[in-house]
């Protein structure tokens, strides 16, 4: 490896370097034992993290992965959109399991309403091949209202008069939009939703506060902070595969606006990279493996969406895309996940460039027509034998150098080609199946 990474900085950020579902939840859970705060800064319950501890599977959508450590303060930043019904049920679920919730919710985070969820599906269907295949959780329409300045924020739920003033206007606007633009009746009861959301506000009141103030004070007091990214770089609404993206900024820079911290407060930025590639939703993926190999990766890696259960589209690591992710996020190191899944393959293709008509591309194209028609140029690397659970148990005890040489060569190739060192390797779903690269 070209450089060492030690997690010394006071703040660490974990970002998806591909299309989401890289295994961020697991890496965040692994790192949480070393921090005081885990802070989310964008997205909502479109996210789905799976964390396995001692055989127990925890699925997370809104609540940061730090919830599994009782002393850790978990924070939902202003850059998020929050469905209070989902949040309350996730909170209840963790409380039933015996976890204490040390939770802070930004007063400035925006609220998702039932009409947002209804619109999400309608809009995506209207878009056809230009759609992203959304998770239909109302994320995009809620962010759109935020940008239009119709949005309702968490703090508004705590002030009945302000909430009524804003909700009356928003509800009527949506009703008209449904009728005039989509020719549909919005069959929702205004008073009932109003009362329900006021009640959500009452239940959440104790948790709602000024996130920027608390996080900055914590940094000043020397506390360690982990910023938890959701989705992945290619789903970023500016830098990703637009328009097949999500509606928030998912890249490292988004933490500043999504929490209210200055850029000079950011320490290490770890990009999580699945040892192959997966994407749930629609849009072109140059290195998608169709047919038998795609199915093999999906079944072997159990690649089904945590949020929607949809089968994920699988393929090979794309270095054009990864180099781009390193640049856009300023990644300090990579955490490689699910490398165990590739064991037993004779050879593993990795895309190093694209070909478009007669030209060779080394940088990610923005032109949708080029994206649709470019073809990856692969370098094929030799595979390694399949390892059993007990092989891995021994390897984890001994550390990185005990991994098969060809597996290390595969990771070294990725590190060299992206000029970014590898800091962590995950070889299984369990918390303990993680190896530091020292
Ligand atoms: P939305 O965020 O629900 O609007 O979905 C937009 C696109 O992002 C779709 O292609 C989704 O499948 C994808 N997406 C959203 N959240 C995630 C995630 O957490 N993991 C993977 N894909 C996601
Ligand atoms: Mg996920």
Active-site annotation holder among 21, 29, 36, 340: 21
pLDDT digits (tens, 9 = 90+) for 356-404: 999 999 999 999 999 999 999 999 999 999 999 999 999 999 999 999 9
Cα gap 34→308, rounded to integer Å = 31
Cα gap 25→306, rounded to integer Å = 11
Q: Is the CB of 423 under 6 A from ligand 1?
A: no
Active site residue 236: no
Q: How far is the CA of 105 from the centre of ligand 2 (A)?
A: 21
pLDDT above 70: percentage of residues in the chain? 98
> CA-based angle 25:28:30, to the nearest 5?
110
Note whether residue 6 is domain-resident: no
Nearest atom in ligand 1 to the alpha carbon of residue 280 is 12
Whether the pLDDT of residue 5 is over 70: the answer is no
Active-site annotation holder among 36, 49, 156, 268: 49
Shared-domain flag, residues 175 and 233: no
Shared-domain flag, residues 236 and 135: no
Q: Is the CB of 280 under 6 A from ligand 1?
A: yes
Whether the pLDDT of residue 8 is over 90: the answer is no
Q: How far is the CA of 114 from the centre of ligand 2 (A)?
A: 23
Note whether residue 347 is domain-resident: yes
pLDDT digits (tens, 9 = 90+) for 22-43: 999 999 999 999 999 999 999 9
pLDDT category, 101, cuts 50, 70, 90? very high
pLDDT at site 54: 86
Shared-domain flag, residues 138 and 220: no
Q: Is the CB of 231 under 6 A from ligand 1?
A: yes
Q: How far is the CA of 135 from the centre of ligand 1 (A)?
A: 6
Shared-domain flag, residues 187 and 277: no
Q: Is 314 exposed, middle or buried (0-12, 13-18, 19+ CB in 10 A)?
A: buried
Q: In this structure, are residues 79 and 254 in contact, taking their beta carbons and an 8 Å threshold? A: yes
pLDDT category, 240, cuts 50, 70, 90? very high
Active site residue 21: yes
Shared-domain flag, residues 253 and 121: no
Task: Give the number of the ligand closest to the Cα of residue 246.
Answer: 1
Nearest CA to ligand 1 atom 10: 281
Note whether residue 3 is domain-resident: no
Q: How far is the CA of 46 from the centre of ligand 1 (A)?
A: 6
Task: Give the number of the ligand closest to the Cα of residue 242.
Answer: 1
Q: Is the CB of 230 under 6 A from ligand 1?
A: yes
- The more confident residue out of 269 and 59 is 269
Shared-domain flag, residues 196 and 49: no
Split into its structural domains, the chain has a count of 2
Residues 6+ apart with CB under 8 A from 432: 396
The pTM is what? 0.96
Mean pLDDT, rounded, for 234-262: 98
Nearest atom in ligand 1 to the alpha carbon of residue 124 is 4
Shared-domain flag, residues 254 and 201: no
Q: Which of 15, 130, 132 should be mutated for ligand 1, with most atoms under 8 A from CB?
A: 132
Final residue before a domain boundary, out of 138, 171, 206: 206
Shared-domain flag, residues 305 and 406: yes
Half-sphere exposure of 248 (CA within 13 A, CB side): 34
Q: How far is the CA of 164 from the centre of ligand 1 (A)?
A: 31
Give the domain extent around 141. Answer: 112-206
Shared-domain flag, residues 176 and 218: no
Shared-domain flag, residues 99 and 122: no
Whether the pLDDT of residue 138 is over 60: the answer is yes
Shared-domain flag, residues 202 and 333: no
């Amino acid at each position: 490896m070209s450089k060492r990474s030690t997690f010394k900085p006071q703040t660490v950020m974990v970002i998806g370097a591909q299309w989401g579902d890289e295994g961020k939840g697991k890496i965040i859970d692994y790192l949480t034992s070393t921090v005081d705060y885990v802070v989310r800064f964008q997205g909502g319950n479109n996210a789905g993290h799976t964390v396995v501890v001692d055989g127990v599977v925890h699925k997370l959508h809104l609540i940061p992965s730090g919830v599994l450590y009782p002393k850790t303060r978990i924070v939902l930043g202003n850059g998020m959109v929050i469905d209070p019904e989902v949040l309350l049920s996730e909170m209840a679920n963790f409380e039933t399991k015996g976890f204490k919730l040390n939770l802070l919710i930004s007063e400035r985070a925006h609220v998702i309403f039932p009409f947002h969820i209804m619109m999400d599906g309608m809009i995506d269907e209207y878009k056809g091949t230009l759609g992203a295949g959304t998770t239909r959780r109302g994320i995009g329409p809620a962010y759109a209202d935020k940008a239009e300045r119709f949005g309702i924020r968490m703090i508004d739920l705590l002030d009945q008069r302000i909430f009524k003033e804003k909700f009356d206007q928003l509800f009527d606007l949506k009703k008209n939009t449904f009728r005039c633009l989509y020719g549909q009746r919005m069959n929702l009861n205004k008073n009932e939703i109003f009362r329900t959301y006021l009640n959500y506000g009452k239940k959440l009141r104790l948790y709602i506060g000024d996130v920027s103030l608390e996080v900055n004070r914590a940094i000043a007091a020397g506390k360690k902070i982990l910023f938890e990214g959701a989705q992945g770089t290619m789903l970023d609404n500016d830098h990703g595969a637009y328009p097949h993206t999500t509606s928030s900024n998912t890249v490292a820079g988004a933490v500043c606006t999504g929490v209210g911290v200055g850029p000079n407060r950011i320490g290490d930025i770890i990009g999580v990279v699945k040892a192959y590639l997966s994407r749930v939703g629609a849009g072109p993926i140059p290195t998608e493996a169709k047919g038998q190999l795609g199915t093999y990766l999906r079944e072997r890696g159990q690649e089904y969406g945590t949020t929607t259960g949809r089968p994920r589209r699988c393929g090979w690591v794309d270095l054009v895309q990864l180099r781009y992710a390193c640049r856009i996020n300023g990644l300090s190191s990579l955490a490689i996940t699910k490398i165990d899944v590739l064991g037993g393959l004779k050879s593993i293709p990795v895309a190093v460039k694209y070909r478009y008509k007669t030209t060779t591309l080394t940088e990610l194209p923005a032109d949708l027509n080029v994206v649709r028609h470019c073809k990856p140029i692969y370098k094929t690397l030799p595979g390694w034998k399949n390892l059993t659970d007990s092989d891995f148990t021994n390897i984890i005890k001994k550390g990185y150098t005990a991994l098969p040489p060809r597996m290390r060569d595969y990771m070294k190739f990725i590190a060299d080609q992206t000029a970014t060192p590898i800091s962590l390797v995950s070889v299984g779903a369990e918390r303990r199946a993680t190896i530091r690269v020292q």
